[in-house]
Amino acid sequence: MVQTMKVSRLISISPLAWVVIVATTLVMLQGALVRATGSGAGCGSHWPTCNGNVIPLTGSAETLMEYSHRILSLLVLVLGVLLLVKTWKWRHSRPGLFVFATIAFVFLIFEALLGGVTVLLGLTGDNTTVARGIMVASHLVNSLLLIGALTGTILYAQEKSPIWPLGIKRQGVLASVIGLGLIGMFILMFSGGIAAMGNTMFPTESLAEGLAADFTASSHPLIRLRILHPVIAVGVGIYLFLSLGLAWRIKPVSQALRLVQYLCAVYVVQLVIGAVNVTLLAPVILQLLHLTFAILAFALLSAVFIVELGFPANKAVVGLGKWAKTEKRV
């Protein structure tokens, strides 16, 4: 009976973690919309107030959009605090759950600080400096780290959760194979943030004009750098397809198979949306759709990393020597 009550309390954390990750995704999409519509300066250079007011009673559509983005971000921060409080009691019996919830909360704080610094430094509105592009890209990478931490929280909130610690040292080859994919995704998203800024601040009339500008020496750095994004996307995609197959050979974990299948499908769709986005000169709706699939792809890859390392192999693999060690679940 006591065990049943414990499991019930644990399972109750999972819906909250799902709410936080969905709300975080909405904040990321809303932030992209704020950038794409030039509404980042809607509250002037004031933060955390909006044009000097706690609640702006009047203002433009840009002000409303920026202020609503801040309110939603604050709501997610409150949810993050609640998640941290609820996982506190599990810090001994389910340490992985508490660790990932804590990491998520730290990145939520960084999210708020990065947003504040962006506003206070004037890296909004019509600012076309490289510094703004780097800030947007850095903000996006931090958001991905948050998504990854929340993914871990969800996994450890399940009744049958991965082992803790994950045993990265014991599984160094496997961790490196998948970990390099995560690093590749970070680089991809960083370049995507810069490309998005280039498309927003320097729109073109045609695809041919845009491609010509990409290779023109006198073009703004944000324009010249955006060509790297599709190249990196293809490279990372090839690596993921090869490395995930290798990971399965090293340690076939049945719980990871469906995640890998979903990840491959999502990544292919993401590439297609990205290609259409470039062809149609980056309409806002496609930018948001592209970002949605990018977030989903990273969450799935994070889940694959944790599940592959945290669950035992379901069968021995012949021919890989010490790489194919079966981890015992504790």
Tokens representing 160?
A: 């049958």
pLDDT at 326: 44
pLDDT at 38: 86
Q: Which residues of 31-68 are buried (b: 16+ CB within 10 A; e: fewer)?
A: bbbbbbeebbbbbbeeeeebeeeeebeebeebbebbbe
Residues 84 and 103 in one domain: yes
Q: Which domain holds residue 48?
A: 1-161
Burial-class residue 97 by CB neighbours within 10 Å (0-12, 13-18, 19+): buried
Tokens representing 178?
A: 């998948």
Domain end marker among 161, 196, 219? 161
Work out how many domains the chain is built from and give that number. Answer: 2
Range name among 4-8, 157-161, 212-216, 220-224 with the lowest pLDDT average: 4-8
Contact 119, 40 (CB under 8 A): yes
Residues 15 and 156 in one domain: yes
Measured distance CA(299)–CA(150) in Å, rounded: 9
Residues 91 and 107 in one domain: yes
Residues 134 and 171 in one domain: no
Contact 147, 302 (CB under 8 A): yes
Q: What is the mean pLDDT of the chain?
A: 90
pLDDT at 277: 94
- % of the chain beyond a pLDDT of 70: 92
Domain end marker among 129, 161, 193? 161
Higher pLDDT, 167 or 319: 167
- C-alpha dihedral sign at 326, 145, 185, 29: positive
Measured distance CA(219)–CA(195) in Å, rounded: 14
Residues 146 and 180 in one domain: no
- H-type helices in the chain, by residue range? 2-36, 61-88, 95-120, 130-156, 172-201, 207-214, 221-225, 228-250, 254-279, 284-310
Residues 180 and 327 in one domain: yes
Confidence band (pLDDT; 50, 70, 90) for 95?
Answer: very high
Residues 211 and 263 in one domain: yes
Domain end marker among 113, 130, 161? 161
Residues 217 and 145 in one domain: no
Confidence band (pLDDT; 50, 70, 90) for 314?
Answer: confident
Residues 152 and 174 in one domain: no
Residues 123 and 49 in one domain: yes
Above 80 in pLDDT, residue 109?
A: yes
pLDDT at 205: 87
Contact 116, 48 (CB under 8 A): yes
Over range 77-100, report the average pLDDT: 95
Residues 178 and 222 in one domain: yes
Above 60 in pLDDT, residue 118?
A: yes
Q: Which residues of 135-157 are buried (b: 16+ CB within 10 A; e: fewer)?
A: bbbbbbbbbbbbbbbbbbbbbbb
Residues 154 and 231 in one domain: no
